[in-house]
Amino acid sequence: MADLLLGQVLSFTADPFAAGLGAARHESHGAVLIENGRIAAVGPADRLRAAHPAAKVTDYGRCLISAGFVDAHVHYPQTAIIASWGKRLIDWLNLYTFPEEMRFADAAYAAEVAERYLGLATANGTTSVCTYSTIHPESVDAIFGAAARRDMRIWAGKTCMDRNAPEGLRDTPQSAYDDSKRLLEKWHGQGRASYVITPRFSPTSTPEQLAALGALWREYPDCLMQTHLSEQTDEIDWVKSLFPQSRDYLDTYEAQGLLAEGAIYGHAIHLTARERDRLREAGASLIHCPTSNTFIGSGLFDMGGLKAQGHRVGLATDTGGGSSFSMLRTMAATYEVAQLRGRPLHPAELWWLATQGSAQALRADHLIGNIAPGMEADLAVIDLASTPAIAQAVTRAGDIWQALFPTIMMGDDRAIHATWIAGRPAI
């Protein structure tokens, strides 16, 4: 039986950064028809009810029906250490991240955290994630298995490190290649799973390991490749000392075959002019992690400048360096960072980044991140009056953006009235 969801419906026909606010479509009394896990029709509620009288109707009233959020850069093994006090990136890795990641050699612990993380993500309206694991194959199996049980679209990969990490968290160029290839062949394209080749970042991989993973990517070019780039200034200085022959941080990847379409770089705050040009030319994606960038003191991402230059940009919580599982909180931080950079972001731009923009960054905007016929039915239903503070602000709203913005700035998991994954209610 088909499902017909009624409510306010928000969708996009294009990128509002490029096409303007007219790229957003708001149906104040709208409906979404779901059949066989996909969106079959979108339009006015009266018209779709008349056309599909046998459909099971769920009336969400004045709630907003949106594409589910797409979190484009996550470290699910850091779930338990989110919001841990720290200083700078390297300190945080040594104090919290590496000791916690050691525990993921235990398959049972990995499975427990994978289930917990996806439960938290779903409760916050997130329906797709792109996540790092640890060096342990067990951690990869755990997150893919947990996502499969939810029928979630997910990207994940074994994190590869062969230096500057504790004993027990290092592999080798060969084992990184072998493990990644085996896991890729096991999971990539199974259901809604996609494998991502995953060197953590240049400081923890030798040129030999980066080259081995570059060779693997050439063998499987339909996979994505994810890593970190130019997160902190002292990290960049460290990279210069480790790669004296490289022109810049990006060149440490480019020289080893790790720059092309399908490359996903987290943070990308302190980019040189050459790096910006090469990233755009290559068609790589940059992932903005605002709560992490401020929490660890990394810097202010240049959203306005990079989007104006034509870069492909997604949005992410960066669990657990990021301080929230919520993409609403992430949008709020994105707005605040953009204000500090002198380019205020409109609510339509923020919402696009958290849905279609992140899907585009993951090369999946034909599948997820929007409400349109043929898209996979991953949806978040948003209560626009979820708390008294938000509700009183909404009473003054003159349009959908004024009604939505208080939820962006003050909303949390209480604003998530329902989450649908693959055409079925998850919460």
Domains recognised in the chain with CATH numbers: 3-68+370-425 (2.30.40.10), 69-361 (3.20.20.140)
| Band of residue 413 on the pLDDT scale cut at 50, 70, 90 | very high
Contact call for residues 38 and 376 (beta carbons, < 8 A): yes
Residue 391 pLDDT more than 80?
A: yes
Contact call for residues 131 and 140 (beta carbons, < 8 A): no
Contact call for residues 405 and 396 (beta carbons, < 8 A): no
Per-residue model confidence as pLDDT tens digits over 105-142: 999 999 999 999 999 999 999 999 999 999 999 999 99
Residue 307 pLDDT more than 90?
A: yes
d(CA 139, CA 70): 21
| Band of residue 162 on the pLDDT scale cut at 50, 70, 90 | very high
Q: Which residue has the tokens 């290649």?
A: 177
Q: Could you give the angle at the alpha carbon of 313 between the alpha carbons of 308 and 315, nearest 5°? A: 130
